[in-house]
Structure 1
């Protein structure tokens, strides 16, 4: 039987972080419509979720990217969190 805390860590954390960041990106575009290239103020939330998961997993297709300094900071912080998530999940899962 699976440990519910371990399952929570493996599923909820890697899923909730990109969804939270997609809301942050949507807010940044609301403040400044030119924050990102490839994403506009008319884009729906699914475009931001897609971009966020691509950033979180550090795939970076290049179809959307940050332009404004605030957007660059947000994207960089999400990429760093994405890079650090896997080692932390492995560490706490084996603990």
Structure 2
């Protein structure tokens, strides 16, 4: 295996973290300064796919499926711009949601069942937390699209700017900050909101316990090995 390939495998979640931070920060800046230019949102998502798909490199099947999702999203996005069909927009967001879920499952498995605690696993843990917020962002968007007025306090009219507002609400809910400037109104939106808050707190609790347990187990294993060698 080449040195570049080994580095990619050892630090695969660095790619995912860069991609996730790019879509979070890029989406906010695009909504702030260019709310009418949906092409910029598509470019940001394309970058996320191209960069983040390398986080799946440890699993050949997941890696291939990630590229299939990326190619499908690009085709749906291109068709949406050329044909001006709103349905392609929702198809693209569904593909993005599938990619987030796939990445979260792979990263979560590595974080909790991947052996010794490493920097890459810690980066993966951060990625899972961000993915939870992004998955709920898209869920909120679909609820708002299906039921107008499901959230109170949304001011944006363009879909990309509204997605950024719902992303803000999602992470505020995930971290239980609860500023109150945006609030769920419909029953389904409320259910999603409190489930996200529960999932966010449970994830942090389980993560800390798991990392401490793995560190103790690793330390104990090294201590036993050192005693065995001394004997």
Q: After TM superposition, is the score higher than 0.5?
A: yes
SS at match of 1:45: helix
1:13 correspondence with 2:128: yes
Q: Which has the larger share of helix?
A: 2
Specify every segment of 5 or more residues in structure 1 that has no aligned partner in the other structure, as ranges: none
Partners of 1:20 and 1:56 in 2: CA distance: 11
How far is 1:64 from its partner?
0.6
Question: 2:154 corresponds to which residue?
Answer: 39
**Pairwise CA RMSD of aligned residues?**
1.6
Paired residues, number: 93
1:20-69 alpha-carbon deviations (Å, 9 max, x no partner): 00000000000001101012672521111100000000000000111110
SS at match of 1:44: helix
How far is 1:5 from its partner?
2.3
1:85 correspondence with 2:203: yes
Partners of 1:68 and 1:15 in 2: CA distance: 25
User: TM-score, normalising length from structure 1?
Assistant: 0.89
Q: Which has the larger radius of gyration?
A: 2
Native 8 Å contact 2:141 2:163 kept in 1: yes
User: TM-score, normalising length from structure 2?
Assistant: 0.38
Native 8 Å contact 1:26 1:48 kept in 2: yes
Q: Which has the higher contact order (CA 8 A, sep 6+)?
A: 1
